[in-house]
Amino acid sequence: MIFAGADTSDNLKYVSFIIGVADDIKSIHGKLEHSNIHMRKLPKLDKERIIKNLHIEGDVFATCMYINRPNVIDKISAKFERKRRGIKRKKYVEDQYDFLFIDKVRSIYRNFLDMHSIRLESIIFEIDHDLRKAFSHLGLRNRDPSITHEIADIVAYCNSKSRRCKNIVELDLSMDLEGLLARRLHL
């Protein structure tokens, strides 16, 4: 069985994805020695201990992506409005951005997905309310947060605070997504 989770930090500037074999995810979470993890709400000492105990290992692929969604959306929406002579379509721009972002995620995780003979759309992601709208209109299945989401929360938190974590792929997709979105909207 495959577990998956995703989380955001800094108002959708960072997004982390964790996909892995259930037993490996459970093992990683067990070593954290903490439950009900939400990094933003924890005392500093607990955060430090959790980060120290986080070891992504086994058949688990973890990424944290800087996507800078709010700024990219605002910038492209303004260009779109100017080109379309005042027609405001921020919702349309957001939807197009989300489709492009999930295509990037699918590409990044392609090897893992192929190795396990699964499609991104067949995975049920543990996510919180920040991502629920994007996931549902993109056809991705989701459920309430649990242990995989907690690991994703740690990864997103670390990246937003410029903390390095071992075995986590860090990517800056912001400029790439901005360029793809501008081309898609013919700007």
Q: What is the pLDDT of residues 9-21, one digit of tens each?
A: 888 899 999 999 9
What is the Cα Rg of the chain in Å?
17
Helix residue ranges per DSSP H, 109-146: 110-115, 129-137
What is the per-residue DSSP string for 8-51? EETTTTEEEEEEEEHHHHHHHHHTT--SS--GGGS-HHHHHHHH
Q: Is the pTM of this model over 0.85?
A: yes
pLDDT at 65 over 70: yes
Average of pLDDT values for 9-37? 93
**Domain of 122: which CATH number?**
3.30.420
Q: Containing domain of residue 77, as a range?
A: 2-184
Q: For 106-127, what is each residue's pLDDT tens digit? A: 999 999 999 999 999 899 999 9
**Number of domains into which the chain is organized:** 1
Are 65 and 102 in contact by the 8 Å Cβ rule? The answer is no
